[in-house]
A and B are shown apart, each in its own frame.
Chain A
Amino acid sequence: ETGVTQSPTHLIKTRGQQVTLRCSSQSGHNTVSWYQQALGQGPQFIFQYYREEENGRGNFPPRFSGLQFPNYSSELNVNALELDDSALYLCASSLIGSGDTQYFGPGTRLTVL
């Protein structure tokens, strides 16, 4: 069984730039959720994708957007980066309807200068 993978591991961007983060879900999972974890804080829910459509969204502005592909992999896009966007971005996958919970990838650490 393949776990959740994310790329890249680290990324440095400057304010105003755009970034794309990638996630491959665990084998057999059909749902991908994205979380933002600031230093010293718990993860915060950004949004979830199921069947290539957004299936719930947290309190994040529209410049945070995503995609899910037919193979259930996913992208998180952030436009007009701000300094406060510096965080660990976590992807979690699950099988909707299974009653099981979400399993996380290792995360992408984004630094905005």
Chain B
Amino acid sequence: QKEVEQDPGPLSVPEGAIVSLNCTYSNSAFQYFMWYRQYSRKGPELLMYTYSSGNKEDGRFTAQVDKSSKYISLFIRDSQPSDSATYLCAMSYNNNDMRFGAGTRLTVKP
């Protein structure tokens, strides 16, 4: 079993849809949870960063962490074609060594 599991997709949605992206993990020591967006052949760009459990909202993006279920989610509201990218979840117990999911490829169709 991988330490971080993420459905690789691909996921295709129409413009304006709500997108839900998820990861599960096995290491209960993880305390820091991140979502990165990565365009093709580019470096990952930080979208959301949360510590411990709870929700965090930033514009059209909402991140949720449920440590009891070892489950994290990213919601994208009013999705746009420019949101088409690979979304990576990442987590860490010490904010140093980050463990990534394999990434979910998202396409938002106009």
Contacts and interface: CB of A to CB of B under 8 A. Distances in A.
Interface residues on A, range: 20 to 34
Contact of A58 (B8, B32, B95, B97): B97
Interface residues of B, number: 26
A42 B88 contact: yes
A31 B67 CA distance: 28
Contact of B43 (A31, A56, A99, A104): A104
Contact of A42 (B43, B95, B102): B102
Contact of A104 (B4, B6, B45, B102): B45
Contact of A56 (B6, B34, B44, B96): B96
B99 interface: yes
A105 interface: yes
